[in-house]
Amino acid sequence: MKSSLTIHKVIVGLLVIYLLIPLVGTFLFSIAGKWDHTILPESYTMKWYIELFQDERFYDAFRRTLFLIVMSVGLSVVIMLPTIFIITVYFSKWEGLLQAVAMLPYGIPPIVGAVGLIKVYSDGPIQIAGTPWILIGAYFITILPFMYQGIRNSLRTLNAVQLVDAAELLGATKFQAFRTVVFPNIISGILVSTLLSVALLFSEFAFANLLVGGRFETLQIYLADKLNSSGHLTSAIVITYYSMILLLTGTVLKLTFRNEKYPVVSNKKRILSFFRKQYSHKNTTLEGEK
Amino acid sequence: MSYVTIDQVTKGYENQVVLNDISLVLKKGEFATLLGQSGCGKSTLLRSIAGLEDVDLGRILIDGKDITNLSPRQREVGMVFQSYALFPNMNVFDNIAYGLKMKKIKNIKSRVKKMIEMVDLIGKEESYPHQLSGGQQQRVALARALVMEPKVLLLDEPLSALDAKIRKNLQKELKRIQKELDITTIFVTHDQEEAMTMSDRIFVMNKGQVVQSGSPSEIYTSPVNTFVAKFIGNYNVCNMEAFRKLVRSTELKGNEVAIRPEVLQLVSVGEDSLDLQENWVIKGIIKDVSMTGNVLRYEVETEESVFLVDYLHHRGNMFEQGARVHILVPKKECIIL
Q: Are B309 and B298 in contact (CB under 8 A)?
A: yes
**Residue B39 sits at the chain A interface (C-beta within 8 Å):** no
- Please provide residue A45's backbone torsions phi and psi, each rounded to the nearest 5 degrees: -155, 155
For residue B214, the surrounding DSSP H or E stretch is: strand B209-214
Question: Which chain A residue has the Cα nearest residue B103?
Answer: A171
A229-241 pLDDT tens trace: 788 888 998 898 8
Tell me the H-state helices in B14-148.
42-50, 92-102, 108-118, 134-146
B217-229 per-position pLDDT tens digit: 999 999 999 999 9
Nearest to A211 by CA among A101, A121, A102: A121
Instruction: Categorize the per-residue pLDDT at A109 as very low, low, confident or very high, splitting at 50, 70 and 90.
Output: confident
Return the CATH number of the domain spanning residue range B235-336.
2.40.50.140
pLDDT on residue B125: 94
Q: What is the pLDDT of residues A188-213, one digit of tens each?
A: 888 888 888 988 888 888 888 888 88
Give the residue among B100, B129, B132 at the shortest CA–CA distance from B114: B100
Pairwise CB contact (< 8 Å): A169 & B102:
no
Q: Which of A167, A154, A184, A171 is nearest to A85 (CA)?
A: A154
Mutate to test the interface with A, among B49, B53, B89 (most CBs of A within 10 A): B89
Predicted local confidence at residue A244, as pLDDT: 82
Mean pLDDT over each residue of chain B, to the nearest integer: 91
- Give whole-number Cα distances, B116 to A140, B97, B149, in Å: 48, 11, 14
Q: Do A173 and B73 touch (CB under 8 A)?
A: yes
Q: What's the rounded mean pLDDT across residues B60-71? A: 95
What gap in Å lies between CA B131 and CA B115, rounded to an integer? 19
Adjacent-strand bridge partners of B108:
none
Cα→Cα distances B72→A206, A275, B48, B75, Å: 51, 38, 9, 5
Mean pLDDT across chain A:
83
| CA–CA distance, B285 with B279 (Å, rounded to integer) | 19
Reply yes or no on domain B2-231 having CATH 2.30.130.10.
Answer: no
Q: What is the pLDDT of residues A83-101, one digit of tens each?
A: 999 998 889 889 899 988 8
Question: Residue A18 has what pLDDT?
Answer: 95
Categorize the per-residue pLDDT at A250 as very low, low, confident or very high, splitting at 50, 70 and 90.
confident
Q: Is the pLDDT of residue A119 over 90?
A: no
Given a contact cutoff of 8 angstroms between Cβ atoms, the answer to whether A141 and A66 are in contact is no
CATH 3.40.50.300 in chain B, residues?
2-231
- Within 10 Å of residue A13's Cβ, how many Cβ atoms? 10
Note the pLDDT of residue B37: 92
Q: What is the pLDDT of residue A277?
A: 43
**Nearest-neighbour CA in chain A from B328: distance (Å):** 52
Determine contact: B269 vs chain A, CB below 8 A.
Answer: no
**Is the pLDDT score of A163 beyond 90?**
yes
Out of B51, B85, B129, closest to residue A166 by CB: B85
- What is the mean pLDDT of the segment spanning A56-78? 92
Question: What's the pLDDT at A283?
Answer: 39
Q: Which domains does chain A have, with CATH numbers?
A: 1-45 (no CATH), 57-280 (1.10.3720.10)
Query: In which region does residue A79 sit, left (phi positive, over 0), alpha (psi from -120 to 50) or beta (all else)?
Result: alpha
User: Is the Cβ–Cβ distance between B129 and B88 less than 8 Å?
Assistant: yes
Looking at chain B, the whole-number percentage of residues with pLDDT higher than 90 is 69
Residue B56, SS3 per DSSP: coil
To the nearest whole Å, the CA of B223 is away from the closest chain A CA by 36
Distance from CA of A196 to the nearest CA of B (A): 24
* pLDDT for res A265: 46
CATH 2.40.50.140 location in chain B? 235-336
ipTM of the complex, rounded to two decimals: 0.85
* Residue B193 near residue B118, CB atoms below 8 Å: no
Reported as a pLDDT band with limits 50, 70 and 90, residue B115 is: very high
Judge: A264–B85 Cβ closer than 8 Å, yes or no: no
Q: How far is B26 from chain A (nearest CA, A)?
A: 21
d(CA A39, CA A50): 25
User: By the CB < 8 Å criterion, does B232 face chain A?
Assistant: no
**Count of A-B CB contacts under 8 Å:** 75
- Distances in Å between the alpha carbon of B226 and those of B77, B86, B206, B230? 35, 40, 12, 6
- Please give the average per-residue pLDDT across B239-261, as a whole number: 87
| Calpha distance B84→B129 (Å, rounded) | 10
pLDDT of residue A220 exceeding 70, the answer is yes
pLDDT digits (tens, 9 = 90+) for B268-315: 887 767 777 788 899 999 999 998 788 899 999 998 889 999 998 876
With CB atoms and an 8 Å threshold, state whether A166 touches B87.
Answer: yes
List of chain A residues whose C-beta atoms are within 8 Å of the C-beta of residue B75: 169
